[in-house]
Amino acid sequence: MKVIIAGAGLGGLCLAQGLSKAGIGFEVYERDAAFDSRTQGYRIRIDHSGQQALAACLPSDLYNAFENTAALPAPVYTLDTRMQTMEDKWVDQWIRDEREIPADLKADRHTLRRVLMQGIEDHVHFGKELTAYSEQPDQTIQCLFADGETATADVLVIANGAASTLVAGCFPGTSLHDTGDICIYGKAPWNGELQQLLREGTNVIFGENIAGIIDVMQFNRTTRSSVMPPEDYLYWALIGQRSSFGLQPGQSLRLSVPQLQEAVAQATSTFPDALSPLFTGAAVTAGAIVPVRHSVQGGRSQQVRVTVSGDAIHTMSPAAGLGANTALRDAAALAAHLKKSADGHLPLMETLLNYEQEMLSYSAAAISASKKGSALLYNSGDNP
Ligand SMILES: Cc1cc2nc3c(=O)[nH]c(=O)nc-3n(C[C@H](O)[C@H](O)[C@H](O)COP(=O)(O)OP(=O)(O)OC[C@H]3O[C@@H](n4cnc5c(N)ncnc54)[C@H](O)[C@@H]3O)c2cc1C
Protein backbone atom coordinates (compact mmCIF):
# COMPACT_ATOMS: atom_id res chain seq x y z
CA MET A 1 0.00 0.00 0.00
CA LYS A 2 1.22 3.51 -0.76
CA VAL A 3 -0.21 6.64 0.83
CA ILE A 4 0.24 10.24 -0.32
CA ILE A 5 -0.10 12.92 2.35
CA ALA A 6 -0.71 16.49 1.19
CA GLY A 7 0.72 18.85 3.83
CA ALA A 8 3.73 18.57 6.15
CA GLY A 9 2.17 20.28 9.15
CA LEU A 10 2.04 18.63 12.57
CA GLY A 11 -0.77 16.31 11.52
CA GLY A 12 0.70 15.26 8.17
CA LEU A 13 4.17 14.59 9.59
CA CYS A 14 2.81 12.64 12.55
CA LEU A 15 0.78 10.48 10.17
CA ALA A 16 3.90 9.92 8.05
CA GLN A 17 5.74 8.72 11.16
CA GLY A 18 2.83 6.44 12.06
CA LEU A 19 2.82 4.90 8.58
CA SER A 20 6.58 4.48 8.66
CA LYS A 21 6.29 2.65 11.98
CA ALA A 22 3.53 0.44 10.54
CA GLY A 23 5.67 -0.41 7.51
CA ILE A 24 3.28 1.30 5.07
CA GLY A 25 4.73 3.19 2.09
CA PHE A 26 4.11 6.94 2.03
CA GLU A 27 5.23 10.22 0.49
CA VAL A 28 4.49 13.68 1.91
CA TYR A 29 4.08 16.64 -0.44
CA GLU A 30 4.32 20.12 1.09
CA ARG A 31 3.54 23.43 -0.59
CA ASP A 32 6.17 25.45 1.32
CA ALA A 33 9.47 25.77 -0.53
CA ALA A 34 11.49 24.45 2.41
CA PHE A 35 11.03 23.07 5.92
CA ASP A 36 11.57 26.43 7.61
CA SER A 37 10.52 28.85 4.90
CA ARG A 38 7.77 30.23 7.15
CA THR A 39 7.17 30.56 10.87
CA GLN A 40 4.33 28.28 11.88
CA GLY A 41 3.80 29.61 15.40
CA TYR A 42 5.78 29.12 18.57
CA ARG A 43 4.36 27.27 21.56
CA ILE A 44 2.06 24.32 21.15
CA ARG A 45 0.44 22.66 24.14
CA ILE A 46 0.27 18.88 23.73
CA ASP A 47 -2.30 17.28 25.98
CA HIS A 48 -2.63 13.66 27.10
CA SER A 49 -4.40 12.55 23.92
CA GLY A 50 -1.81 14.33 21.75
CA GLN A 51 0.96 12.64 23.70
CA GLN A 52 -0.67 9.23 23.29
CA ALA A 53 -0.95 9.84 19.55
CA LEU A 54 2.69 10.85 19.29
CA ALA A 55 3.73 7.82 21.34
CA ALA A 56 1.75 5.57 19.00
CA CYS A 57 3.24 7.06 15.84
CA LEU A 58 6.85 7.79 16.78
CA PRO A 59 9.67 5.36 17.47
CA SER A 60 10.61 5.55 21.16
CA ASP A 61 13.83 7.58 20.64
CA LEU A 62 11.89 10.29 18.81
CA TYR A 63 9.12 10.29 21.40
CA ASN A 64 11.82 10.81 24.03
CA ALA A 65 13.22 13.67 21.95
CA PHE A 66 9.75 15.28 21.95
CA GLU A 67 9.51 14.95 25.74
CA ASN A 68 13.07 16.13 26.34
CA THR A 69 12.67 19.23 24.18
CA ALA A 70 9.34 20.32 25.73
CA ALA A 71 9.40 23.30 28.12
CA LEU A 72 9.69 22.61 31.82
CA PRO A 73 6.25 21.91 33.31
CA ALA A 74 4.73 24.75 35.34
CA PRO A 75 1.27 25.82 36.57
CA VAL A 76 -1.40 27.84 34.76
CA TYR A 77 -2.41 31.14 36.41
CA THR A 78 -5.64 33.00 35.65
CA LEU A 79 -5.20 36.73 36.24
CA ASP A 80 -7.02 40.03 35.84
CA THR A 81 -5.40 42.98 34.09
CA ARG A 82 -3.74 44.02 37.36
CA MET A 83 -2.17 40.56 37.48
CA GLN A 84 -4.28 39.52 40.46
CA THR A 85 -5.48 35.91 40.62
CA MET A 86 -9.01 35.22 39.32
CA GLU A 87 -10.64 32.12 40.73
CA ASP A 88 -13.79 31.97 38.59
CA LYS A 89 -12.27 31.64 35.12
CA TRP A 90 -11.27 28.28 33.80
CA VAL A 91 -11.33 26.46 30.46
CA ASP A 92 -12.17 22.78 31.06
CA GLN A 93 -9.38 21.51 28.81
CA TRP A 94 -6.60 23.24 30.75
CA ILE A 95 -4.51 21.35 33.30
CA ARG A 96 -4.14 23.45 36.45
CA ASP A 97 -0.61 22.34 37.13
CA GLU A 98 1.45 20.74 34.41
CA ARG A 99 3.33 18.86 37.09
CA GLU A 100 0.14 16.82 37.64
CA ILE A 101 -0.13 13.53 35.80
CA PRO A 102 -1.15 13.35 33.01
CA ALA A 103 0.51 16.68 32.42
CA ASP A 104 0.28 18.81 29.30
CA LEU A 105 3.62 19.28 27.56
CA LYS A 106 4.47 22.63 26.00
CA ALA A 107 6.41 21.97 22.82
CA ASP A 108 8.18 24.53 20.71
CA ARG A 109 6.36 24.04 17.42
CA HIS A 110 9.43 24.34 15.21
CA THR A 111 11.35 21.88 17.39
CA LEU A 112 8.45 19.44 17.36
CA ARG A 113 8.29 19.60 13.57
CA ARG A 114 12.03 18.89 13.47
CA VAL A 115 11.46 15.84 15.67
CA LEU A 116 8.62 14.72 13.38
CA MET A 117 10.86 15.06 10.31
CA GLN A 118 13.59 12.81 11.67
CA GLY A 119 14.15 9.60 9.76
CA ILE A 120 11.58 10.39 7.05
CA GLU A 121 13.37 13.32 5.39
CA ASP A 122 13.72 11.49 2.07
CA HIS A 123 9.95 11.04 1.86
CA VAL A 124 9.00 14.69 2.45
CA HIS A 125 8.99 16.79 -0.72
CA PHE A 126 8.90 20.58 -0.50
CA GLY A 127 7.70 23.05 -3.11
CA LYS A 128 4.95 20.59 -4.04
CA GLU A 129 1.50 22.13 -3.94
CA LEU A 130 -1.25 19.64 -4.61
CA THR A 131 -3.76 21.31 -6.88
CA ALA A 132 -6.04 18.47 -7.98
CA TYR A 133 -6.53 14.73 -7.88
CA SER A 134 -8.52 12.13 -9.79
CA GLU A 135 -9.51 8.51 -9.41
CA GLN A 136 -7.94 6.13 -11.93
CA PRO A 137 -9.78 3.11 -13.41
CA ASP A 138 -7.90 0.82 -10.96
CA GLN A 139 -9.17 2.97 -8.04
CA THR A 140 -5.73 4.46 -7.33
CA ILE A 141 -5.56 8.23 -6.92
CA GLN A 142 -3.52 10.39 -9.23
CA CYS A 143 -2.31 13.67 -7.69
CA LEU A 144 -1.48 16.74 -9.75
CA PHE A 145 0.95 19.34 -8.42
CA ALA A 146 1.31 23.01 -9.29
CA ASP A 147 4.61 22.32 -11.07
CA GLY A 148 2.82 19.97 -13.48
CA GLU A 149 4.20 16.75 -12.00
CA THR A 150 1.97 13.87 -10.94
CA ALA A 151 2.15 11.05 -8.41
CA THR A 152 -0.12 8.07 -7.82
CA ALA A 153 -1.05 6.20 -4.63
CA ASP A 154 -3.64 3.85 -3.19
CA VAL A 155 -4.81 6.51 -0.73
CA LEU A 156 -4.59 10.30 -0.65
CA VAL A 157 -4.79 12.05 2.73
CA ILE A 158 -5.62 15.73 2.57
CA ALA A 159 -3.81 17.29 5.54
CA ASN A 160 -3.27 20.77 4.20
CA GLY A 161 -4.65 22.87 7.02
CA ALA A 162 -7.45 25.33 7.63
CA ALA A 163 -7.38 27.03 4.25
CA SER A 164 -7.85 23.74 2.39
CA THR A 165 -9.99 23.97 -0.71
CA LEU A 166 -9.13 20.39 -1.65
CA VAL A 167 -11.35 19.07 1.14
CA ALA A 168 -14.50 20.22 -0.64
CA GLY A 169 -13.88 17.58 -3.32
CA CYS A 170 -14.12 14.62 -0.96
CA PHE A 171 -16.24 16.14 1.83
CA PRO A 172 -18.68 18.46 0.04
CA GLY A 173 -20.38 20.96 2.29
CA THR A 174 -17.27 21.54 4.38
CA SER A 175 -16.72 25.23 4.95
CA LEU A 176 -15.15 27.66 7.39
CA HIS A 177 -17.22 29.84 9.64
CA ASP A 178 -15.37 33.05 10.49
CA THR A 179 -16.29 34.16 14.01
CA GLY A 180 -15.02 37.67 13.33
CA ASP A 181 -12.63 37.28 16.28
CA ILE A 182 -8.86 37.25 15.82
CA CYS A 183 -5.64 36.05 17.37
CA ILE A 184 -2.21 37.69 17.18
CA TYR A 185 0.82 35.88 18.55
CA GLY A 186 4.51 36.59 19.08
CA LYS A 187 7.67 35.67 20.88
CA ALA A 188 10.33 37.55 22.85
CA PRO A 189 13.55 36.49 24.54
CA TRP A 190 13.17 35.48 28.20
CA ASN A 191 15.85 37.34 30.03
CA GLY A 192 14.19 37.49 33.41
CA GLU A 193 13.36 41.22 33.05
CA LEU A 194 9.66 40.60 33.59
CA GLN A 195 10.26 38.14 36.42
CA GLN A 196 8.66 40.49 38.96
CA LEU A 197 5.41 40.54 37.06
CA LEU A 198 5.06 37.18 35.33
CA ARG A 199 4.65 33.88 37.07
CA GLU A 200 6.83 31.08 35.80
CA GLY A 201 4.31 29.08 33.84
CA THR A 202 1.27 30.05 31.81
CA ASN A 203 -0.14 33.51 32.62
CA VAL A 204 -3.67 33.94 31.28
CA ILE A 205 -4.79 37.56 31.56
CA PHE A 206 -8.49 38.28 31.20
CA GLY A 207 -9.32 41.70 29.78
CA GLU A 208 -12.62 42.93 28.42
CA ASN A 209 -13.45 40.85 25.33
CA ILE A 210 -9.77 39.99 25.03
CA ALA A 211 -7.44 37.51 26.68
CA GLY A 212 -3.66 37.45 26.72
CA ILE A 213 -1.74 34.21 27.19
CA ILE A 214 1.90 34.60 28.16
CA ASP A 215 3.92 31.44 28.53
CA VAL A 216 7.37 31.37 30.03
CA MET A 217 9.12 28.72 27.93
CA GLN A 218 12.15 27.41 29.78
CA PHE A 219 13.96 24.34 28.50
CA ASN A 220 16.19 21.71 29.97
CA ARG A 221 19.33 21.96 27.89
CA THR A 222 21.30 19.35 29.79
CA THR A 223 19.56 16.25 28.40
CA ARG A 224 21.16 15.19 25.14
CA SER A 225 18.81 14.13 22.38
CA SER A 226 18.93 14.07 18.61
CA VAL A 227 17.14 17.44 18.52
CA MET A 228 18.07 20.22 20.95
CA PRO A 229 15.52 22.66 22.41
CA PRO A 230 15.66 26.36 21.53
CA GLU A 231 16.81 29.18 23.85
CA ASP A 232 14.33 30.11 26.59
CA TYR A 233 11.67 32.55 25.39
CA LEU A 234 8.35 34.16 26.19
CA TYR A 235 5.44 33.17 23.99
CA TRP A 236 2.40 35.38 23.90
CA ALA A 237 -0.94 35.25 22.16
CA LEU A 238 -3.79 37.74 22.22
CA ILE A 239 -7.22 36.48 21.31
CA GLY A 240 -10.43 38.46 21.29
CA GLN A 241 -13.11 40.35 19.51
CA ARG A 242 -11.96 42.53 16.62
CA SER A 243 -13.04 45.72 18.32
CA SER A 244 -10.58 45.02 21.16
CA PHE A 245 -7.80 45.32 18.58
CA GLY A 246 -9.30 48.52 17.15
CA LEU A 247 -10.30 46.69 13.96
CA GLN A 248 -13.58 47.04 12.13
CA PRO A 249 -15.88 44.09 11.39
CA GLY A 250 -14.90 42.66 8.02
CA GLN A 251 -11.66 44.65 7.85
CA SER A 252 -8.92 42.83 5.95
CA LEU A 253 -6.33 41.12 8.14
CA ARG A 254 -3.58 41.89 5.64
CA LEU A 255 -2.03 44.45 7.95
CA SER A 256 1.37 46.11 7.71
CA VAL A 257 3.74 45.58 10.62
CA PRO A 258 3.02 49.10 12.06
CA GLN A 259 -0.73 48.39 11.80
CA LEU A 260 -0.20 45.07 13.59
CA GLN A 261 1.79 46.77 16.33
CA GLU A 262 -0.98 49.34 16.71
CA ALA A 263 -3.58 46.53 17.02
CA VAL A 264 -1.43 44.83 19.69
CA ALA A 265 -1.00 48.12 21.58
CA GLN A 266 -4.75 48.69 21.50
CA ALA A 267 -5.54 45.15 22.69
CA THR A 268 -3.11 45.39 25.61
CA SER A 269 -3.90 48.96 26.62
CA THR A 270 -5.45 47.81 29.92
CA PHE A 271 -2.58 45.42 30.72
CA PRO A 272 0.17 46.60 33.11
CA ASP A 273 2.54 49.14 31.50
CA ALA A 274 5.44 47.01 32.59
CA LEU A 275 4.35 44.35 30.08
CA SER A 276 4.59 46.75 27.11
CA PRO A 277 8.20 45.86 26.20
CA LEU A 278 7.09 42.27 25.75
CA PHE A 279 4.59 43.22 23.06
CA THR A 280 6.32 46.20 21.48
CA GLY A 281 9.78 44.60 21.52
CA ALA A 282 8.64 41.45 19.80
CA ALA A 283 9.08 41.03 16.09
CA VAL A 284 5.44 40.67 15.04
CA THR A 285 5.42 39.25 11.56
CA ALA A 286 2.63 39.64 9.03
CA GLY A 287 1.75 35.95 9.38
CA ALA A 288 1.16 36.28 13.11
CA ILE A 289 -2.45 37.37 12.79
CA VAL A 290 -5.08 34.71 12.25
CA PRO A 291 -8.87 34.82 12.13
CA VAL A 292 -10.67 32.61 14.64
CA ARG A 293 -12.66 30.15 12.55
CA HIS A 294 -14.58 26.93 12.99
CA SER A 295 -15.14 24.19 10.45
CA VAL A 296 -18.64 23.37 9.38
CA GLN A 297 -18.08 19.72 8.59
CA GLY A 298 -19.50 18.18 5.46
CA GLY A 299 -19.85 14.48 4.69
CA ARG A 300 -18.30 12.08 2.24
CA SER A 301 -20.12 11.88 -1.09
CA GLN A 302 -18.22 9.25 -3.08
CA GLN A 303 -16.46 5.98 -2.38
CA VAL A 304 -13.09 7.30 -3.50
CA ARG A 305 -9.88 6.52 -1.65
CA VAL A 306 -9.31 10.08 -0.53
CA THR A 307 -9.63 11.08 3.09
CA VAL A 308 -8.88 14.09 5.24
CA SER A 309 -7.25 14.92 8.57
CA GLY A 310 -6.34 17.87 10.78
CA ASP A 311 -7.42 21.48 10.38
CA ALA A 312 -8.57 20.76 6.82
CA ILE A 313 -11.69 19.14 8.30
CA HIS A 314 -11.73 20.46 11.87
CA THR A 315 -10.44 23.98 12.17
CA MET A 316 -11.28 25.38 15.60
CA SER A 317 -10.57 28.33 17.87
CA PRO A 318 -7.20 28.04 19.61
CA ALA A 319 -8.99 28.88 22.88
CA ALA A 320 -9.06 25.32 24.21
CA GLY A 321 -5.71 24.22 22.74
CA LEU A 322 -7.27 21.27 20.92
CA GLY A 323 -6.57 21.83 17.20
CA ALA A 324 -3.16 20.19 16.91
CA ASN A 325 -4.01 17.58 19.51
CA THR A 326 -6.97 16.53 17.40
CA ALA A 327 -4.80 16.49 14.25
CA LEU A 328 -2.31 14.21 16.05
CA ARG A 329 -5.15 11.98 17.17
CA ASP A 330 -6.29 11.71 13.53
CA ALA A 331 -2.78 10.65 12.56
CA ALA A 332 -2.65 7.84 15.11
CA ALA A 333 -6.20 6.70 14.33
CA LEU A 334 -5.70 6.70 10.57
CA ALA A 335 -2.33 4.91 10.79
CA ALA A 336 -3.91 2.21 12.99
CA HIS A 337 -6.89 1.80 10.63
CA LEU A 338 -4.70 1.65 7.51
CA LYS A 339 -2.55 -1.01 9.14
CA LYS A 340 -5.62 -3.27 9.25
CA SER A 341 -6.00 -2.96 5.48
CA ALA A 342 -2.28 -3.30 4.85
CA ASP A 343 -2.38 -6.56 6.83
CA GLY A 344 -5.27 -7.73 4.68
CA HIS A 345 -7.90 -7.68 7.46
CA LEU A 346 -10.21 -5.04 5.97
CA PRO A 347 -10.93 -3.60 2.48
CA LEU A 348 -9.35 -0.17 2.07
CA MET A 349 -12.57 1.75 1.58
CA GLU A 350 -14.07 0.23 4.72
CA THR A 351 -10.97 1.26 6.64
CA LEU A 352 -11.31 4.87 5.49
CA LEU A 353 -15.00 4.97 6.40
CA ASN A 354 -14.28 3.56 9.88
CA TYR A 355 -11.59 6.18 10.47
CA GLU A 356 -13.84 9.00 9.29
CA GLN A 357 -16.73 7.93 11.49
CA GLU A 358 -14.44 8.01 14.54
CA MET A 359 -12.67 11.23 13.52
CA LEU A 360 -15.84 13.18 12.73
CA SER A 361 -17.28 12.29 16.14
CA TYR A 362 -14.36 13.35 18.34
CA SER A 363 -13.47 16.36 16.19
CA ALA A 364 -17.03 17.71 16.35
CA ALA A 365 -16.77 17.47 20.16
CA ALA A 366 -13.44 19.32 20.05
CA ILE A 367 -14.90 22.11 17.88
CA SER A 368 -17.74 22.47 20.35
CA ALA A 369 -15.34 22.60 23.35
CA SER A 370 -13.26 25.22 21.54
CA LYS A 371 -16.31 27.42 21.01
CA LYS A 372 -17.04 27.21 24.73
CA GLY A 373 -13.40 28.06 25.42
CA SER A 374 -13.69 31.20 23.27
CA ALA A 375 -16.83 32.27 25.09
CA LEU A 376 -15.14 31.91 28.44
CA LEU A 377 -11.80 33.38 27.45
CA TYR A 378 -12.94 36.58 25.78
CA ASN A 379 -16.77 36.59 25.62
CA SER A 380 -16.73 35.60 21.99
CA GLY A 381 -19.82 37.11 20.41
CA ASP A 382 -20.09 34.02 18.26
CA ASN A 383 -22.59 31.90 20.19
CA PRO A 384 -21.47 28.33 20.94
C1 LIG B 1 -1.87 31.05 17.90
C2 LIG B 1 -2.24 29.61 17.84
C3 LIG B 1 -1.96 28.78 18.90
C4 LIG B 1 -2.30 27.44 18.87
N5 LIG B 1 -2.02 26.66 19.95
C6 LIG B 1 -2.40 25.37 19.95
C7 LIG B 1 -2.10 24.54 21.09
O8 LIG B 1 -1.47 24.98 22.05
N9 LIG B 1 -2.52 23.24 21.06
C10 LIG B 1 -3.21 22.73 19.98
O11 LIG B 1 -3.58 21.54 20.02
N12 LIG B 1 -3.48 23.49 18.89
C13 LIG B 1 -3.08 24.79 18.84
N14 LIG B 1 -3.33 25.54 17.74
C15 LIG B 1 -3.96 24.91 16.55
C16 LIG B 1 -2.91 24.19 15.69
O17 LIG B 1 -1.92 25.11 15.28
C18 LIG B 1 -3.54 23.54 14.45
O19 LIG B 1 -4.70 22.86 14.80
C20 LIG B 1 -2.55 22.56 13.79
O21 LIG B 1 -1.42 23.24 13.32
C22 LIG B 1 -3.21 21.82 12.63
O23 LIG B 1 -2.27 20.95 12.05
P24 LIG B 1 -2.47 20.47 10.55
O25 LIG B 1 -1.30 19.57 10.27
O26 LIG B 1 -3.83 19.96 10.32
O27 LIG B 1 -2.36 21.80 9.66
P28 LIG B 1 -1.15 22.80 9.47
O29 LIG B 1 -0.24 22.78 10.65
O30 LIG B 1 -1.76 24.10 9.06
O31 LIG B 1 -0.32 22.19 8.24
C32 LIG B 1 -0.84 22.17 6.94
C33 LIG B 1 0.33 22.13 5.96
O34 LIG B 1 -0.17 21.94 4.64
C35 LIG B 1 0.56 22.76 3.74
N36 LIG B 1 -0.27 22.97 2.55
C37 LIG B 1 -1.29 23.85 2.37
N38 LIG B 1 -1.84 23.69 1.15
C39 LIG B 1 -1.15 22.68 0.54
C40 LIG B 1 -1.29 22.04 -0.73
N41 LIG B 1 -2.24 22.40 -1.62
N42 LIG B 1 -0.40 21.05 -1.05
C43 LIG B 1 0.56 20.66 -0.14
N44 LIG B 1 0.71 21.24 1.07
C45 LIG B 1 -0.14 22.22 1.42
C46 LIG B 1 0.81 24.02 4.55
O47 LIG B 1 1.89 24.76 4.02
C48 LIG B 1 1.12 23.43 5.93
O49 LIG B 1 2.50 23.15 6.10
C50 LIG B 1 -2.98 26.90 17.74
C51 LIG B 1 -3.27 27.73 16.65
C52 LIG B 1 -2.90 29.07 16.69
C53 LIG B 1 -3.22 29.94 15.51
Residue count of the chain: 384
Ligand 1 proximity of 185 Cβ (cutoff 6 Å): yes
Does 161 have pLDDT greater than 90? yes
Across 356-370, average pLDDT: 97
Rounded CA gap, 178 and 330, in Å? Answer: 23
What is the arithmetic mean of pLDDT over 25-41?
90
**Choice among 106-120, 254-268, 359-373 with the minimum mean pLDDT:** 254-268
**Domains of the chain (ranges plus CATH)?**
2-378 (3.50.50.60)
* Average pLDDT, integer, range 300-315: 96
pLDDT the model gives residue 14:
98
Helix-strand-coil split of the chain, %, nearest 5: 35, 25, 40
Residue of higher predicted confidence among 3 and 198: 3
Q: Is 104 in the pocket of ligand 1 (CB under 6 A)?
A: no
* Whether residue 22 has its Cβ less than 6 Å from ligand 1: no
Nearest CA to ligand 1 atom 21: 324
Model pLDDT for residues 322-359, shown as the tens digit of each residue: 999 999 999 999 999 999 999 999 999 999 999 999 99
Residue 104 pLDDT: 87
DSSP 350: H
Residue nearest to atom 4 of ligand 1 (CA): 318
pLDDT score at 367: 97
Q: Which residues contact 252 (CB under 8 A, 6 or more apart)?
A: none
pLDDT over 70 at 282, yes or no = no
Ligand 1 atom at minimal distance to the Cα of residue 165: 41
- Please compute, for residue 207, the number of CA atoms within 13 A of its CA located in the half-sphere on the CB side: 19
Helix axes 323-342, 10-22, angle to 10 degrees: 30
Query: Nearest CA to 22 among 352, 308, 340, 326?
Result: 340
CA 70, CA 220: separation in Å to the nearest integer?
8
Distance 86 CA to ligand 1 centre (A): 31
Nearest by Cα to 207 from 304, 94, 86, 124: 86
Closest ligand 1 atom, residue 6 Cα: 43
Nearest to 171 by CA among 277, 344, 297: 297
Ligand 1 centroid – CA 315 distance (Å): 9
* DSSP state at residue 274: G
E runs forming strands in 298-343? 306-308
Res 384 pLDDT > 60: no
**pLDDT of 196 strictly over 90:** no
Helices (H), 80-205: 109-117, 167-170
- Rounded to whole angstroms, how far apart are CA atoms 242 and 245? 5
Least confident of 39-43, 82-86, 227-231, 284-288: 284-288
> DSSP 3-state assignment of 43?
strand
pLDDT digits (tens, 9 = 90+) for 234-274: 999 999 999 999 999 888 998 888 888 899 999 999 999 98
Instruction: Indicate whether 99 pLDDT > 90.
Output: no
Ligand 1 atom with the shortest distance to the CA of 40: 29
Residue nearest to atom 35 of ligand 1 (CA): 7
pLDDT at 89: 75
Task: Name the CA radius of gyration of the chain, rounded.
Answer: 21
Split at pLDDT 50, 70, 90, the class of 152 is: very high
- What sign results for the dihedral spanned by CA atoms 7, 307, 135, 168? negative
* Average pLDDT score over residue span 180-190: 91
- Report, as an integer, the average pLDDT of 115-140: 97
Query: Could you tell me if 233 and 107 are in contact, meaning their C-beta atoms sit under 8 angstroms apart?
Result: no
Q: Is the CB of 186 under 6 A from ligand 1?
A: no
Share of the chain above pLDDT 90, in %: 74
- pLDDT at residue number 191: 73
pLDDT reported for residue 381: 73
Nearest to 357 by CA among 314, 312, 299, 310: 299
pLDDT band with cut points at 50, 70 and 90 for residue 154: very high
CA 58 to chain centroid = 18
What confidence tens digit (pLDDT) does each residue in 45-68 have? 999 999 999 999 999 999 999 999
Cβ–ligand 1 distance for 262 under 6 Å, the answer no
Please tell me if the CB atom of residue 10 comes closer than 6 angstroms to any atom of ligand 1.
yes
Whole-number pLDDT of residue 284: 66
Is the per-residue pLDDT at 221 higher than 90? no
- Which is the closest atom of ligand 1 to the Cα of 330? 26
Return the ligand 1 atom nearest residue 324 CA.
11
Q: Is 310 in the pocket of ligand 1 (CB under 6 A)?
A: yes
